[in-house]
Structure 1
Amino acid sequence: MNNGGSVLQWAHQRNYTVTWLAEQLGYSRQRLSDALHQNDISPALSKVLFEQFTLRVIPTYKVVEHPNGKTRRMGKQHHQRAVGKRGRKPGSGHGVRPSKLDPHTQEIMQLLQGGMTQREIARRYGTTPSNLHDWLKKRGLI
């Protein structure tokens, strides 16, 4: 056995779940799943797999200790993801984006000037008061 995929295959053959494996090894399910699926095997994980299940898995990187006491991972190239956790490019959450309120800008401004509250306007256009407030702020209307 030489990689995370073979560990997953071994577990599947024995009807073990990743959650059960994680509990036996003392890892979180997400951390173990990521490590095995991405073949990102640390020396510590390799050791624990051998001690618990006598599975020999080759680490894909080693931890090197520097004289200043810090450690760092060597050997496996880690690339930065092109998108953030929620599927957007980093930094794309800033600035003005199109909104369902944009076509109603004139009407909303007339209602505000007429004395209607933001809560009433938000209800009328099917949004929340905080969303309406943020929309007005981002467009410099208040």
Structure 2
Amino acid sequence: MYAYWETVPTRWKDNDVYGHVNNAVHYSMMDTVVNTWLIRSAGLDIHDGDTIGLCVESHCVYRASVSFPEPVRVGLRIGHLGRSSVRYELGLFRADGETVVAEGHFVHVFVDRETRRPTGIPGPLREAMEKLVVAG
């Protein structure tokens, strides 16, 4: 179902007054996993590259709560890969790997760093993304 996995630790400050990880933290975890993968596995140069990804859409559905100090397993796949855009789909799971905490997606449009105009996803980055694409 998901082609790439990372474990993200929760932090003491992530819990809200109700004793569970606050909803905004889920987005941060998803964003962290996407960008970690882009930098480490796909070779995106966030500091000097000609092409950068801008988030144009994000969404999250909450399924279960999680609390510090429990780590969260985050699965990543690509549901759609276009010429200049990509839709990352993510699942956040309890440490058991079975209980879904949240499901969400991020859409990046890749743009020229200087002009901020959409540009095609560069070859090496696209090749790495193709490995995460799921059918249907």
Is the shorter-chain TM-score for this pair beyond 0.5, marking a shared fold? no
**Structure of greater Rg:** 1
Q: TM-score, normalised by structure 1?
A: 0.22
- Flag the structure with higher helix content: 1
- Flag the structure with higher strand content: 2
The higher relative CO (CA closer than 8 Å, separation ≥ 6) is in 2
